[in-house]
Amino acid sequence: MDQWDCIIVGAGPAGLSAALYLARFRRRVLVVHDGRSRALRIPVTHNVPGFPDGVEGPALVARMTRHAERYGAVVREGEVVQAAAGGPGFILTLAGSREQLRARSLVLATGLYMEQVPLDDGVHEAAIGAGILRYCPVCDGYEHIDERIGVIGSDGHGANEALFLRRFSADITLVPLNSSELDPRDRTRLQRAGIAVVDRPVIHHAPRGDCYQVQIEGDEAPLSFDVVYPALGVRQRVELAVMLGLELGEEGTTHARSPLGTDVPGLYCAGDIVEGLDQISVAMGHGALAATRAHNWLREREPPTFDTAPGVPERVKGGLDQHATGEPP
Ligand SMILES: Cc1cc2nc3c(=O)[nH]c(=O)nc-3n(C[C@H](O)[C@H](O)[C@H](O)COP(=O)(O)OP(=O)(O)OC[C@H]3O[C@@H](n4cnc5c(N)ncnc54)[C@H](O)[C@@H]3O)c2cc1C
């Protein structure tokens, strides 16, 4: 059975960055993904450094895939349903196949699931494409300056999101999906910020042309917004991490340091699966860290070569580690 230096599960910004680095370290690297990168759903992103005119999510993923492949990374589609640490290394099983994949090291860049508003898939994705349904105020709040903004989800998370968006518009309304669970402190903060709070639940969602309507129980006419942000939470795709025995944080994420290594030797995590800010640039940085750490980990277990033999200035070897950890020399 073929043994890869590293398998990366996930072909989003985290996995593809890790693949690029490992391929350029001349590692045999395989990327496996099931076609569900969140980046593929981005109509246009305006906060990825280096793209002043914005870039479409699918175009960015295609460029990153091409970039990694140019240096020899192999990218293939498939859902990984089993992961085990076996022998030295890892064994992965794909859905609908007896084939097993083996690697000496593993990077999990499996992203997350978003809790979504109840709309048919096609309608939902069209609303995202039209920019009237958004899931990431950090990403695109700027695109909605002075617009009518609805936030769906009346709890502490929804309140925080509404308060964050207040910087961009004075016309913000917080509505519950089902029931309101705002505590008095959040209510006061919202009131002080001039954010309207509706306490009755939404009974119908209807994207209409260039606006998004929500029908509130008991109201005759729907509320109409230029954009709606559901603040309903996320679930990290940690099934494989759990199979491999990783401990999760309170929010269901892997540890903030997991791009640098985990309790499972040879296992690294990157991107949205990791505790922290769920953003493309962060995912790219994690990918670079995880790849460099994985490469060093492999080097330490290999027979001495020109780059590990005694005589190589310590500064060079140490330099790579310092860059990877961000720790002072
Ligand atoms: C509508 C929308 C707009 C956004 N706008 C922006 C923006 O403007 N700026 C920004 O910085 N961020 C934005 N984001 C967030 C951004 O998309 C994510 O932060 C980024 O994609 C995270 O990268 P990742 O590689 O960690 O995860 P993802 O890109 O989600 O990739 C996860 C990968 O793992 C694979 N995978 C998971 N489990 C398995 C498995 N078991 N087997 C095989 N493959 C598996 C998936 O197929 C996928 O390839 C937006 C997100 C959405 C949904």
Burial 106-120 (b: 16+ CB within 10 A, else e): bbbbbbbebeebebe
- Residue 108 Cβ < 6 Å to ligand 1: no
The residues pairing with 136 across neighbouring beta strands, listed in sequence order, are none
Does position 146 have pLDDT exceeding 90, yes or no? yes
Q: Which residues contact 58 (CB under 8 A, 6 or more apart)?
A: 39, 40, 42
Any alpha helices (H) in the chain, and if so which ranges?
Answer: 13-24, 57-70, 121-129, 137-140, 156-165, 184-192, 239-243, 280-300, 314-325
User: Any idea which of 19-33, 86-100, 263-277 has the lowest mean pLDDT?
Assistant: 86-100
**What is the rounded CA–CA span in Å between residue 249 and residue 253?**
5
Q: What is the residue with the minimal CA distance to atom 4 of ligand 1?
A: 42
Q: How far is the CA of 35 from the centre of ligand 1 (A)?
A: 10
pLDDT in tens, 117-142: 999 999 999 999 999 999 999 999 99
φ, ψ (nearest 5 deg) of residue 260: -90, -5
pLDDT in tens, 235-279: 999 999 999 999 999 999 999 999 999 999 999 999 999 999 999
Query: Has residue 303 got a pLDDT over 90?
Result: no
Closest Cα to residue 278, out of 18, 57, 20, 39?
39
Position 131: which residue type? G
> From atom 37 of ligand 1, which residue's Cα is the shortest distance away?
110
Mutation pick for ligand 1 pocket among 76, 139, 254 (CB with most ligand atoms within 8 Å): 139
Q: Among 38, 42, 234, 272, which is best to mutate for testing ligand 1, by the most ligand atoms less than 8 A from CB? A: 38
- Of 112, 135, 136, the one to substitute when testing ligand 1's pocket (max ligand atoms within 8 A of C-beta) is 136
Query: How confident is the model at residue 313, as a pLDDT?
Result: 47
The Å distance, Cα 278 to ligand 1 centre, comes to 9
- Rg of the chain over CA atoms, in angstroms? 22
Query: How many of the other CB atoms lie within 10 Å of CB of 58?
Result: 14
Whole-number Å distance between alpha carbons of 243 and 292: 24
CA of 111 to the centre of ligand 1 (A): 5
| Average pLDDT, integer, range 30-45 | 98
The size of the chain, in residues, is 329
Q: For ligand 1, atom 48, name the residue with the nearest CA.
A: 37
Determine if ligand 1 sits within 6 Å of the CB of residue 110.
yes
Is residue 13 predicted with pLDDT exceeding 90?
Answer: yes
Alpha-carbon span 109 to 17, nearest angstrom: 10
- What is the C-alpha separation between 84 and 107, in angstroms, rounded? 13
Say how far apart CA 11 and CA 20 lie, in whole Å. Answer: 11
Res 320 pLDDT > 80:
no
pLDDT at 312 over 70: no
**Residue 236 forms beta bridges with which residues?**
112
Which pLDDT does position 180 carry in this prediction?
83
pLDDT band at 2 (very low <50, low <70, confident <90, very high): confident
pLDDT at 56: 98
Is pTM beyond 0.85 here?
yes
Span 224-233, pLDDT tens digits: 999 999 999 9
Give per-residue pLDDT as tens, 150-200: 999 989 999 999 999 999 999 999 999 988 889 999 999 999 999 999 999
Write down the pLDDT at residue 249: 93
| pLDDT tier for residue 86 given thresholds of 50, 70 and 90 | confident
**Residue 39, pLDDT score:** 98
Any ligand 1 atom below 6 A from CB of 111: yes
Delineate the domains of the chain, giving CATH numbers in brackets: 3-113+234-319 (3.50.50.60), 116-230 (3.50.50.60)
| Confidence (pLDDT) at 322 | 46
